[in-house]
Structures are given as C-alpha cells and as structure tokens.
Amino acid sequence: MKTLYQNPKGFSTAPFHATSKPMFFASTQAVPLWASMPFALLLTLIAIMPFLNKHFWERRYPHVSALLGLLVVVGYIFILHATERLAHTALEYFSFMAIMAALFTVSGGIHIRVKGESTPLKNVLFLGVGAVLANLIGTTGASMLLIRPWIRMNKYRITEFHTVFFIFIVSNAGGCLTPIGDPPLFLGYLKGIPFFWTLQHLWPAWLMANALLLAIFYILDKKNQSRIPSNIVEKESAYETFHISGKRNIIFLAVILAAVFMPTPLREILMLAAAAASYFTTPKQIHESNHFDFHPVKEVGWLFAGIFATMMPALDYLQTNAGSLGINSPLAYYWFSGVLSSFLDNAPTYLTFLTVSASQHSIPLEQLAPSAGIYLGVAGRELAAISLGAVFFGAMTYIGNGPNFMVKSIAEQQSVGVPSFFGYIFRFSIPFLLPILALAGWLFLH
C-alpha cells in the first residue's frame, strides 16, 4: 500500500494542528496526474473570470467552486474509496476556516486610528514591525490585525502596490523565524525540529529578503507620495489622533493563539467561542469604523472549499512521486518546494519534501523526533531550503497562503485597488519578488 497522504496539518494559514500522528492512507491506487484537472480549472477561473465577467463571477463563484470540488469528492468516494482521506480534508478545511474566521472577527473588533497621512519612512517601519509581529502571532494574525490600519494610514494615496507589498512582507516573508510564524514551520516543530532552529538558521535569509522588499517599497512609495499635494493632506489630517479602540479583543486574540496548541476539536471550539464573544461584545461603532461585515469570510470560505477538495489529487500525486523528481541539492529542494507552495498547500508540500529528505538519509519521518540531531547534522541545509521555499514562495500568488486572499478581499471591500490574479503575478511577483527569492536561494543555499 502506498502512502498517499500523511499530513497532520491543515492549510497554510496558521499553525493550528497540534498532533504529530501519521494520518490516513488514501487508497491502494496511485492518483493519476490528470485527476488534478478540476484544480487547474478552478485556478484558471479564479484568475480570468473577474476580468471576463466580473458580475457573473461574483454571483456564481460559490456554485462553480462547489461543483468542481464535488467532482473530485465523488471520484474519491466511488473510484478510490478514500473516505478517510476525504474526512481528513474536511477536518483540515474546518480548522482552516475556524482560525480564519476567528482572527478576522476579532481583528475586526480592534480599531486602530492613525494620526494623519503616513510617509514612506513610516510605511517601511510599519511593514517592518509587521514582519516581526508575524513571528509572534502568525502571518494570519498579523495580516488581519494590521491590514485595516495600513489602509487607513495611506488612505489619500493608496495604490495596488501597497496591498501587494503588505502581502509580500506581513502575510508571508516575515513569518519564517519561528514555528508560530507559518504553518510549515510549525509542522516541522511537531515532527521534532527544535523550536529555535528556524531563528538560528533562517534569520540571514529573512533579513535580506525583507530588507530588499522594504527598500523597493520605499522607492515606489516615495515616488507615489509626490502625486498628492501636501497642503490637502495636512488640512484633512489636522484633527486626527492615534487611538486604539476595542482593546478587550486583545484578550480574545490571545485565546486564539493559545488554542493553536490545543488538540482538535477543542482548538476550533475555543477559537470560534472567542470569535463569538468578540463579535457580540464589540460596540457597533467599532465595527462600523472598520467597515466590518462577513463578506470576505464568505468569499474565502466558498473558494477555498473548492480549492481544498480539488487540490487533493495534486497533493496525493506529489506525495507518491516526489522521490522520483531527482532532487539532490538544497537549491533543488528550495525551488521545488517553493514553486509548488505557490499554488498548493505549503504545509503538506513542506511535509512531502521533508519526508524525501529524511528518507534519503535513512531516517523515516516517524523517527525524525528522536533522530532530529542526526538529521540536522547531515541535512540542515536541505531543511533550510524546504522551510524557506515553503514560506517565501507563498507570496507568489493570491492562493499561495491563506492570508493573501483575505487581505485582497478586505482591500476590495474598502474600495482599495488590487491587481487581478495574473496582474499580481506578472506585474508584481515576477518582477519584484522572484528576483529576491532567486538571490536568497543563490546566496544561502547554493
């Protein structure tokens, strides 16, 4: 029997699975690559339909996502007889939505009022703080907490690149220093990688990547600032002061973060309970100030329901064939795990290549914890490559990491311009982010 999937972790939004037990076998049959066609079709529709017929897509995307997901579910039930695999995916999706909805709701109850219009230097400092904060409350937590004040502090001149670089830094590249920062790293911690290993070994790449992103952003923002007359900004900002409302929600945020380490279903129950308590105790005026409603959660919920279902064949195919890809160097691990993490769940992608790396050194994944010292001694650079690839490349697309799409949805809700799916990739990811990721790989993993 081939192990098609052994992922004890949910989707790539927050490290919320706290079990290291091996998971289910999907089937005695290998899943063919063509079974990933519904996944490819869904990604294509997400990319092109808002451009071809935006109003049709806004009305019909739940039906399209559900239909394509159902095609795969039917195949797994009646052809592969993989009901355990489906149950595991359903649990992952439930955990994913629990933390996304909880963090979205609680952060929506915290209103951070900023003083006046921000400057390029203040923006750089804000994003830098966000990159550090991502390692303490996760990329999802930092993104949900900071995206609204980020929009407000740049309200007179905010453009697409403000949203994109927020996703690059706060929602992704900032979170590679601790296992809390991003789900793949938490998964490695559960498998036996020491908690502070990422901080000790990944900080040079973290510092270089984020510093370069911040430098590029500063140049773009400096140019952008010159298009707004300063007297208008000063006049409009004269009566604004810095203030934080809804501080009680920080307690609910702490409950959600503590629940990360709880077993399921206690984890999800605590998160949803904290969200409900936050929603019903937050004054109405705070929600109104944040333009809060549940539309972003609804959009993410429907689209990722389809993504979770349709990506199962792609992940299962990767699980059974990764060992035959000829990966024999840290740089190869970096690019393979990175490119696949741009479009697939970066947590099981990380686990797949960790399994390949450990097996190449004759260490079964189930024995990694007691053999972690031996593994890190002979394959530390491989693990660094897998970790950086899974975390950094999550910023390459809107679906590379859960917070990306949520940030996009919140920005759209507040009438902030965001690039299309392909616009994000070809106008921002490839020209600005990819060269930095390539340089990081060459400098630290070559």
Residue 63 burial (C-beta neighbours within 10 Å; 0-12, 13-18, 19+) = exposed
CA distances from 133 to 127, 187, 220, 252 (A): 10, 20, 24, 17
Task: Identify whether 21 is part of a domain.
Answer: no
Q: How many domains does the chain have?
A: 1
List, run by run, the mean pLDDT of 10-residue segments along the chain (446 residues): 34 35 44 92 91 89 96 94 91 88 91 79 95 91 91 90 97 93 85 91 97 97 79 52 85 91 90 96 92 90 93 85 82 94 85 85 80 88 96 94 90 90 95 97 93
Task: Identify whether 24 is part of a domain.
Answer: no
Going by C-alpha positions, the residue among 36, 35, 64 that lies closest to residue 49 is: 64
C-beta contacts of 76-81 below 8 A and 24+ residues apart: 76/26, 76/312, 80/26, 80/27, 80/29, 80/31, 81/27
Task: Identify whether 96 is part of a domain.
Answer: yes
Task: Identify whether 11 is part of a domain.
Answer: no
Task: Identify whether 10 is part of a domain.
Answer: no
Task: Identify whether 20 is part of a domain.
Answer: no
- Are 184 and 16 spatial neighbours (Cβ–Cβ below 8 Å)? no
Task: Identify whether 1 is part of a domain.
Answer: no
Predicted model pTM: 0.83
Task: Identify whether 4 is part of a domain.
Answer: no
Can you tell me the distance from the alpha carbon of 343 to that of 43, in angstroms, rounded to the nearest whole number? 9
Can you tell me the distance from the alpha carbon of 73 to that of 83, in angstroms, rounded to the nearest whole number? 9
Residue 188 structural domain: 33-445
Predicted local confidence at residue 67, as pLDDT:
97
For residue 245, report the phi and psi dihedrals to the nearest 5 degrees.
Answer: -110, 155
Predicted local confidence at residue 118, as pLDDT:
82
